[in-house]
A and B are shown apart, each in its own frame.
Chain A
Amino acid sequence: MDVATAHTRLGNRASAFLAGKHQLLIGGKWVDAKSGKRFDVFDPATGQAIAAVAEADAADIDIAVKAAREAFETGPWSRTSPMDRGKLMWKLADLLEQNADEIAEIESLDNGKPIRDARNVDLPGSYEILRYMAGWATKINGETITVSAPGNWHAYTLREPVGVVGQIIPWNFPLMMAAWKIAPALAAGCTIVLKPAEQTPLSAIRLGQLIQEAGFPDGVVNILTGFGETAGAALAAHPDVDKVAFTGSTEVGKLIVQAAAGNLKKVSLELGGKSPAIVFPDADMEVAIAGTSSAIFFNMGQCCTAGSRLYAHKSVFDRLMQGVADNAGKIKVGHGLDPESQIGPLVSDEQFKRVTGYLAAGQQQGARVVTGGSRVGDQGYFVQPTVLTDTNPDMSVIREEIFGPVVCAIPFDDADLDRIARTANDTSYGLAASIWTRDLGIAHKLARRIKAGTVWINTHNFGDPALPFGGYKQSGWGREMGYEAIELYTEVKAVAAALG
């Protein structure tokens, strides 16, 4: 399919959405930015503008925070029962599922990802977390505590919503990241100001329409498209925001922490990674080759958990690396809306330059390209799935998050799990790791030695709404998903009564 005309494959409903006016959702109304400014949204396969959306800045953030505060303190939401919050969330999940084909097309066009990934991963990942968290809405309990002080006491805790939360989300799974953020906050009873990534604002706007259709009270979810430096920074720094949640780079995560310090708002961060995949000689090689290939090439490597450091025992290294390289060479690269495409373009010109910059730096420093290594075609932001080897631990391709389809393959000749773990942990990140072996002892002993929020055994990039997700070290603060996410959006109040 011709990349330039691929967007003509959009269905009628996605086309109609694209042609609509893309405004800010504030206090239950769609409005323009106060400044009247708009910015263009691009198809990363062509670099062509496909829509223009309202550009929020600090003034709009301020209005949205006021709307969220009012909704939290005095609006109908503050009196909505846990049961009814759960029902609204379930309704929103149903609406997302009913409109999944249309939204997947929007997501694919905006982000560049293959339509089948958008439809089979991003959309279910969005409505399933809403349904999972809808169940928690009625189960956010405190405890009654037996105190040991003399006398008669009734002491207990209440788990209350933290308040107005700012949520800043990334462009790699735009809708799913929005759903991961809003679902626990809604379950807890918070109100939200959501800022989607400037690269991929469209599916969040469609989400806003469905939030209104589901019947959430005005001001509960406010959605403001805009840039990180302006709208995002204003949200992170806003004195009336009780908590900010951010998913993105470690570099920006640190800026968020600084911005949040003004009113000491609570902060949760889901940041970068440089996740190792470690293959032992007894692993099922077919499974390991397929799994470690997908670990790095899925979503064009634009996953914070991407398996970007591939360690394999010397005795299987050549076979494994060749297998991954063969897979890389076979991957069909193309426009996201082409149903044949297995990976699409990178999301933006900036990201394209970043990834190709790392490829150049790696080769300059002596890394060898086994396969890939350059752009695809001369249009859009396509990069070849790439395997590098002959790296050393000081190279930027080993130390830094590339966030592209680039894996470094490294042999090890060791059976000592402490030493293997030390190599795997030799990174400032700690988001995820995968271990490939048939030996239960090796798998679980190494799992304990890895400093990462998630360890997979004989799989990679597996997630479930019930599994806490987040990072050690500079990969973040807090855990999303599972009950741990509810903890991020609640405060605990201790009540002690002297009964006399």
Chain B
Amino acid sequence: MAMPQAIENYRHPFTVGTEVKRMLINGEWVRAASGKTFESKNPATGEVLAVVAEGDKEDIDRAVAAARRAFDGPWSKWKPYERQALLLKIAELVEKNYDELSRLDTIDMGAPVARTLGTKQRVLGMLRWYSGMATSIHGETINNSLPGEIFSYTLKEPVGVVGAIIPWNGPLGACIWKIGPALATGCTVVLKPAEEAPLTPLRLGEILMDAGVPPGVVNIVPGYGETAGAALAEHPDVDKVAFTGSHSPASRSSARRPAT
């Protein structure tokens, strides 16, 4: 068969070399605290594409702390149009690197390149749509019926530190779904990619840094759902968790959320 051979011969620039793929915490590329790693394989060939730092509870703790500091830090003073400009810059870089990102999705999770390339307009459209939303987040002034002159209004404020757990069936798009609205609103993010397909999220992390995302605003911690994912879902300093995936882990995730 021609296609597997084509894949065997294909070397993606992100998978060249034997260096462990590190996690992104507070703007730095770091090893897991435990030193553990796991392999990311090409499902078409079984070939090991990369060895990846395996985050667990301790790394999630570090990432959440970084996200909290970032949320309370200068990021909170960014004006809507600055967040808008950042998202537009990200869109520009993702567009420039789209072929590479989509091929990385293909070798890491198996979807034909026709599909991963075919979502280009959708992925870029999301980023640009969220960039516009950054300047359009309004609360309301409330027309109350209280006696006297009482002025009341609502503010729509960022929820805070967001834990994002994404699936393996469209890693690039899933990252954007979670990171786009978080950046538009001024949240900070700890993203846990699927253990089956962590490479595109890590490559996207490089692009986010190049675009100028401040340290700690987006943290990316690869690892397993049972360890890193669970730690993120139940972390007491995470304000919101966003999960895409199967029904039963979602229920577990909800059940583990601490009572508030």
Please report A residues at the B interface, Cβ cutoff 8 Å.
81-84, 138-150, 156-159
Residues of chain B with a CB closer than 8 A to A150's CB: 79
- Asked if A148 contacts B141 (CB within 8 A), the reply is no
* Binary flags per residue of B56-90, CB closer than 8 Å to A gives 1, else 0: 00000000000000000000000111100000000
Chain B residue at minimal CB-CB distance from A145: B138
Q: Is B19 an interface residue (CB 8 A)?
A: no
Q: In the bound complex, what is the Cα–Cα distance between A159 and B156 (angstroms)?
A: 19
CA distance A83 to B142 in the complex (A): 13
- Which of B79, B80, B144, B145 has its CB near the most chain A CB atoms (within 10 A)? B145
Q: For chain B, residues 153 to 195, give those with C-beta under 8 angstroms from any C-beta of chain A.
A: 153-156
Give bound CA distance, A143 to B141, whole Å: 5
Given contacts A143-B140, A146-B135, A148-B81, 19 further A-B contacts (CB under 8 A): A81-B146, A138-B145, A140-B143, A141-B140, A141-B141, A141-B142, A142-B153, A143-B138, A143-B139, A144-B138, A144-B140, A144-B141, A144-B153, A144-B154, A144-B155, A144-B156, A147-B80, A148-B80, A159-B143
A83 CB contacts on chain B under 8 angstroms: 145
Report whether B80 and A158 are in contact in the complex, using a CB–CB cutoff of 8 Å.
Answer: no
CB neighbours (8 Å) of B141 from chain A are 141-144, 156-159
Chain B contact residues, majority secondary structure: loop
- Known A-B contacts A148-B80, A148-B81, A150-B79; the reply to A139 vs B143 at CB < 8 A is yes
Let me know if B138 and A146 touch, CB within 8 A. yes
Provide the residues of chain B in CB contact with A147, threshold 8 Å: 80
Query: A148 near B143 (CB under 8 angstroms)?
Result: no
Known: A81-B145, A148-B135. A142 touches B81 (CB 8 A): no
For B33, the chain A residues whose CB sits under 8 A away are none
Which residue of chain B has the shortest Cβ distance to A81 in the bound complex? B145
B48 at the interface (CB under 8 A from A): no
Min CB–CB distance A83 → chain B (angstroms) = 4
Chain A residues near B81 (CB-CB < 8 A): 148
Residues of B within 8 A of A142 (CB): 140-141, 143, 153
Q: Which residue of A lies closest to B142 (CB)?
A: A141
**CB within 8 Å: A-B pair count:** 51
Q: How far is the CB of B139 from the nearest CB of chain A, in Å?
A: 4
Complex Cα spacing A147 to B79, Å: 8
User: Which residues of the other chain, A, contact B153 by a CB distance below 8 angstroms?
Assistant: 142, 144, 156
B35 to chain A minimum Cβ distance, whole angstroms, is 44
A-B contact pairs, 30 of them (CB 8 A): A81-B146, A81-B147, A82-B143, A82-B144, A82-B145, A83-B145, A138-B143, A140-B143, A141-B142, A141-B143, A142-B140, A142-B141, A142-B143, A142-B153, A143-B139, A144-B138, A144-B139, A144-B140, A144-B141, A146-B80, A146-B135, A146-B137, A146-B138, A147-B80, A148-B81, A148-B82, A148-B135, A150-B79, A156-B141, A158-B141
Rounded to whole angstroms, the CA-CA distance of A239 and B153 in the bound complex is 35
Binding site for A on B (CB under 8 A): 79-82, 135, 137-147, 153-156
The distance in angstroms between the C-alpha atoms of A148 and B135, with both chains bound, is: 8
A-B pairs, top 5 by smallest CB distance, nearest first, are A83-B145, A142-B141, A144-B139, A148-B81, A81-B145
User: How far is it, in angstroms, between the C-alpha of A62 and the C-alpha of B172 when the chains are bound?
Assistant: 68
How long is the Cα–Cα vector from A146 to B84 in the complex, in angstroms? 13
Most buried by A among B81, B143, B145: B143
- Closest chain-B Cβ to A97's Cβ sits at a distance in Å of 25
Cα distance A4–B7 when bound, in Å?
93
Closest Cβ neighbor of A155 among chain B residues: B138
Measured between C-beta atoms, what is the minimum distance from A499 to chain B in Å?
13
> In the complex, A139 Cα to B143 Cα: how many Å?
6
The complex places the Cα of A82 from the Cα of B79 at a distance, in Å, of 35
Q: Specify which chain A residues have a CB less than 8 angstroms from the CB of B155 in the assembled complex.
A: 144
| Min CB–CB distance A396 → chain B (angstroms) | 48
Please name the residue on chain B nearest to A495 by beta carbon: B141
CB distance from A143 to the nearest CB of B (A): 4
Most central of A83, A143, A150 by chain B CB within 10 Å:
A143
Alpha-carbon distance A148/B86, docked complex (angstroms): 14
Q: Chain B CB within 10 Å — which of A81, A148, A150 has the most?
A: A148
What's the Cα separation between A368 and B149 when bound, in Å? 68
The distance in angstroms between the C-alpha atoms of A142 and B144, with both chains bound, is: 11
Which chain A residues lie closer than 8 Å to B80 at the CB level?
Answer: 146-148
Q: List, in ascending order, chain B residues with CB within 8 A of A159's CB.
A: 141, 143
Residue of chain B at shortest CB distance from A146:
B80
Smallest Cβ-Cβ distance to A139: which chain B residue: B143
Q: Which residue of B lies closest to A141 (CB)?
A: B140
Nearest CB in chain B to that of A152: its residue = B77
Which residues in A have their C-beta under 8 angstroms from that of B156?
144
Give A209 to B153 CA distance when docked, in angstroms. 38
Q: Which residues of A contact B79 (CB under 8 A)?
A: 148-150
Complex Cα distance A160/B184, Å? 31
Of all chain A residues, the one with the shortest Cβ separation from B140 is A141
Contact partners of B139 in chain A: CB under 8 A = 143-144
For B138, list chain A residues within 8 Å (CB): 143-146
Q: How far is the CB of A298 from chain B (nearest CB, A)?
A: 38
Q: Which B residues are in CB contact (< 8 Å) with A156?
A: 141, 153
* A157 contact set on B, CB distance < 8 A: 141
Please give, as numbers and ranges, the residues of chain B lying within 8 Å of A84 by CB-CB distance: 145
Task: Please give me the residue from chain A that is nearest to B78 by CB atom.
Answer: A148
Chain A, Cβ-Cβ closest to B144? A82
Inter-chain CA distance A156–B145, complex, in Å, is: 19
Bound Cα distance A159, B138 (Å):
15
Please name all residues of chain A whose beta carbon is closer than 8 Å to the beta carbon of B140 when the two chains form the complex.
141-144
Q: Within 8 Å CB of A148, what residues of B?
A: 79-82, 135
Minimum CB–CB distance from B212 to chain A (whole Å) comes to 17
Closest to A83 in B: B145
* B154 contacts across to A, CB distance below 8 A: 144
A236 to chain B, nearest CB (A): 29
CA gap between A161 and B165 in the complex, in Å = 48
C-alpha gap A143/B156 in the complex (Å): 10
Q: How far is the CA of A145 from the CA of B82 in the complex (A)?
A: 16
State A142–B143 Cα separation when bound (angstroms).
8
Q: How far does the Cβ of A133 sit from chain B's closest Cβ, in whole Å?
A: 14
Alpha-carbon gap, A228 to B103, bound state (A):
72
CB distance from A160 to the nearest CB of B (A): 10
Q: How far is the CA of A142 from the CA of B135 in the complex (A)?
A: 17
Q: How far is the CB of B142 from chain A (nearest CB, A)?
A: 6
Q: Which of B80, B140, B154, B155 has the most CB of A within 10 A?
A: B140
Q: What's the nearest-Cβ distance from chain A to residue B193, in Å?
A: 31
Specify the chain B residue showing the minimal Cβ separation from A149.
Answer: B79
Which chain A residue shows the least CB distance to B139? A144
Separation of A140 and B153 alpha carbons in the complex (Å): 12
A residues in contact with B143, CB < 8 Å: 82, 138-142, 159
